[in-house]
Structures are given as C-alpha cells and as structure tokens.
Amino acid sequence: MDGLGVSGLSVFQGGRQSFLYYECSGQRMEPEQLFPEAGEILKSWPGGEHPRLWVPMMDIFHYQQPVSAQHWKRNQGAGIPYGRLAALKPEQVSSYIYYHYQYQEERPGDGDKYGIIGLHENLLFFYSELPATVEAAPYAGKLTTNLRPEHWGEVMEPHFNKWGDMPRDQAIWKKLTLVLSIPLPHRGKGE
C-alpha cells in the first residue's frame, strides 16, 4: 500500500454488498490496483458500458476536506472506521444534495473531520471514525449564509426510503460490518 500511495483502507459489508473506503496521497489509485484478484469473489455491478466490479461514489458531503498532509494526519490515536448505508427516495436526491452542500459550506468542521458521504444512484455510504475527531476547519466555507435547518433530523427524514428489516435505530442509516481495516501508518498508540 505504501508503494501505491494508499495510507489507509477499510472494507465494509452490508448483506451482499461491499463498500470500500481508502485514502491516497499523490495519484489516484483504482480499486482494481488494490485488489487485482477481486474478480474471483465479486460479481459485476449492473449498469455502465461494460461489466465492472467497483463503482465509484460521488462525494456529496464532507465535514472537512484535506488541505495538507499535516492537516489530515490522525493525531488522536487509532480511530475505528465506521460505515453506514441509506437509500434516498429518487425524487429527493437533489434536495438532499442541496441541504448537504449548504451545511458543508456554512459550517465546515461541524462533525467528524474524516466523515464523508458518497452517493451512487440513490445509495448513500457514510464513512467516519470513532471516536470522532471534531476540530475547527482550517478554512472558511464557500457560503456566508446561515440557512442550514436547525431541526436537521425532521428535515432529512422525508428524504429516505426506510429499511424494513432493520432495528428501529437503523431504519434510515443501516450500520455496515467492518470486514477489513488496514490502518493509516500514523495511527499508532499514543500518537
């Protein structure tokens, strides 16, 4: 991983789906470079021009974005990767993105520094680390407004298709199982 410039990697599973989160420094690495033998255990994801084992998700929300290697370094010890999955109602995707862009640009640093939401079709994947690293962002957001709804949960709830087969506390955001975690090199004990 060091040779590929990958500093940390986590794989989560939810049912028959797997979700990969990794961080790269330098040039972009594709999942096929990290898992060249994955075709032996993964099925092709439908859609697209050709069969594919991995589908990239679009970053539609993050509490912070890296501004330098020093800024992005984990200083609070070993964080535990945490993943969740949600399904948006297709007609609510644009509204969800609108509110989240507004939130991220009005209040950078308002949650886990490493928290990010990716979107593919109407599936949302949320990656974060526990315990959360909450610190002020070293930059100002792009918006100077203060329009983020105060009753965030009430505004967000109508955006989701609820999971019918999950406990009540996971009706919207289903917890994923961490199946592989290769920590960042600078996540040693006491660092």
| pLDDT tens digits, one per residue of 152-177 | 999 999 999 999 989 999 999 999 99
Mean pLDDT of 134-149: 96
**178 located within any domain:** yes
Q: What integer pLDDT is reported at residue 78 of this predicted model?
A: 66
User: Can you list the pairs that 182-188 forms with residues at least 24 positions away whose Cβ atoms lie under 8 Å?
Assistant: 182/1, 182/8, 182/9, 182/10, 183/8, 183/78, 184/7, 184/8, 184/23, 184/74, 185/2, 185/7, 186/73, 186/74, 187/8, 187/74, 187/77, 187/78, 187/79, 188/77, 188/78
Q: pLDDT category, 9, cuts 50, 70, 90?
A: very high
Q: What integer pLDDT is reported at residue 184 of this predicted model?
A: 57
Please give the model's pTM, rounded to 2 decimal places.
Answer: 0.91
**174 located within any domain:** yes
- The domain total for the chain is 1
**138 located within any domain:** yes
**86 located within any domain:** yes
Mean pLDDT of 37-59: 86
Q: What integer pLDDT is reported at residue 99 of this predicted model?
A: 98
pLDDT tens-digit map of 49-103 = 777 889 999 999 999 999 998 898 887 766 899 999 999 999 999 999 999 999 9
Does pLDDT of 4 surpass 90?
no
Q: What integer pLDDT is reported at residue 165 of this predicted model?
A: 86
**106 located within any domain:** yes
Its domain, for residue 109, covers 6-182
Q: pLDDT category, 185, cuts 50, 70, 90?
A: very low
pLDDT tens-digit map of 99-119 = 999 999 999 999 999 999 999
**Average pLDDT over the chain, rounded to an integer:** 90
**161 located within any domain:** yes
**17 located within any domain:** yes
